[in-house]
């Protein structure tokens, strides 16, 4: 059974981006082999809606989503949009994935892996894990 894994990487070689930093996901398809199938670019809501300002001085701004890692106004909607972008994947792999995104992935039954290593190493370990799980084999050994 084929499945997809989304990876956040700045150079295609290392898993080195936090989920919020990813602008392009590498989508690998796993069947008998692991193949880079596509790259999916994320366009933030603020760029999609050119008429909307990203300043938090607006009275309509939800202050809970301003500043920090949320990316200012529209932070939570950007997380939702990014999760939706890769919702057909079985797993997402980034250097760090925040609590809000983890909860959204959990609702969609998508596994989350926080790692910082080579892309090949991450893919090897995750595909080994899923192969054992899918075949009802012990992970010990």
Domain residue ranges of the chain, discontinuous segments joined by +: 3-46+71-134
pTM for the full model? 0.80
CA–CA distance, 16 with 132 (Å, rounded to integer): 26
- Rounded to the nearest 5°, which phi and psi values hold at 27? -105, 115
| pLDDT at residue number 49 | 66
| pLDDT tens, the chain, 141 aa long | 899 999 999 999 999 999 999 999 999 999 999 999 999 999 887 776 654 444 444 444 444 443 444 444 346 788 999 999 999 999 999 999 999 999 999 999 999 999 999 999 999 999 999 999 999 999 887
Q: What would the CATH number be for the domain defined by 3-46+71-134?
A: 3.30.420.130
CA–CA distance, 26 with 5 (Å, rounded to integer): 8
**Gyration radius of the chain over CA positions:** 17
| pLDDT at residue number 75 | 62
């Amino acid at each position: 059974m084929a499945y997809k894994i989304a990876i956040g990487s700045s150079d295609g070689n290392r898993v080195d981006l936090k989920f919020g930093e990813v602008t392009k996901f590498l989508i690998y398809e796993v069947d008998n082999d692991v193949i880079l199938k596509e790259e999916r670019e994320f366009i933030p809501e603020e760029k999609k809606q050119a008429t909307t300002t990203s300043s938090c001085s607006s009275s309509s701004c939800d202050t809970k989503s301003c500043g920090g890692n949320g990316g200012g106004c529209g932070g939570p909607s950007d997380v939702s949009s990014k999760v939706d972008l890769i919702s057909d994947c079985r797993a997402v792999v980034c250097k760090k994935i925040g609590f809000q995104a983890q909860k959204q992935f959990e609702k969609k039954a998508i596994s989350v892996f926080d790692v910082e290593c080579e892309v090949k190493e991450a893919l090897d370990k995750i595909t080994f894990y899923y192969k054992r799980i899918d075949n009802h084999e012990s992970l010990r050994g």
